Amino acid sequence: MKLKDRLPTRRAETVEAPLSFDKRRSLSLLRMPLKRCLQIIALAILLLVLSGCSSADQNSGQWSAPGVTLAVEPAGGAKEVTSGVQLLVLLTVLSLAPAILMLATSFTRIVIVLSMLRSAIGTPTIPPNQVIVGLAMVMTFFIMSPVYTTIDQEALQPYLKGEIDQSTALEQALQPVREFMFAQTREKDLQLFVDLSGQESPQTLDDISTIVLLPAFVISELRTAFIMGFVIYIPFLIIDIVVSSILLSMGMMMLPPSLVALPFKILLFIMVDGWYLLIRSLSLSFLQ
């Protein structure tokens, strides 16, 4: 066998002729991703629809497209403008509803006491935050139910029947909430915000505005919640001290006292029926 038969034969390299501009453009369009092609097609359809729309009528303020008509009409009078402003104010109030629920009701005191109980036991994640907030909201609706009933009977139902106007309904709905806040607010806190507002000394409770009453109610609730939290902390703190002293006397300094004290805290809380006492105390604190 000859040597040239053993050597691999090289394939002939074909030299392609340079493509023209039109061919390169068509190839680039073919290589374009499908998503990009769909976007271009959708844009072309949108431009086609917009180009088919009729021109705007300056007198009537209407814009029309195939199957679609958009009309902009001027306000019929001051009454329609006032209704629009009232709707805007109502939407703003609804957006502030969570803050009002937390600050103008019993929610603040309840959620702080429950959170301090969880910290006193030594379980920062049990019960979870969702359970704490949910229980606080349920207790809030329960405690505030007489106030909500009064609002429904004196403000909401007469307004729905057309017996009173909107401003009167708002005033009558605010009055039970103000009475609840006045009952839970200290005179010292109320006097503080009256002095800070620069108002004259009020003769009656009706002379105090809600803007002054609300922050005074909030700081009074915070003070009451911290007092209840302090009382809750005392028995669990005693358990921590006793367990730490025992471990120190036994020479077990490397063993965390909180780990040993946790079962005894839970056992104490169960034996005294802690949830019953706590919920009862929270409920009665708003009735005094």
Tell me the C-alpha to C-alpha distance, in Å, between residue 84 and each of 75, 79, 81, 141: 10, 9, 5, 32
Burial class (CB in 10 A: 0-12, 13-18, 19+), 149: exposed
Distance CA 118, CA 150 (A): 34
Do 234 and 228 touch, CB atoms closer than 8 A? no
Token pair recorded at residue 82? 């006032």
Q: What is the largest CA-CA distance in the chain?
A: 127
Residue with tokens 């006032």: 82
User: What does DSSP assign to residue 65?
Assistant: E
Distance CA 274, CA 69 (A): 66
Residue with tokens 């680039």: 28
Residue with tokens 């600050």: 103
pLDDT tens, the chain, 288 aa long: 444 454 444 444 444 444 454 455 544 545 555 556 666 776 666 665 555 554 444 444 454 545 555 454 554 544 444 566 667 766 776 777 777 777 888 888 999 999 999 888 888 888 888 999 899 888 988 888 888 888 888 888 887 877 888 778 888 888 888 888 888 888 888 888 888 888 777 788 788 888 888 889 999 999 999 999 999 989 988 888 888 888 888 877 777 777 888 888 888 888 888 899 999 988 888 876
Token pair recorded at residue 219? 């700081």
pTM for this predicted structure: 0.64
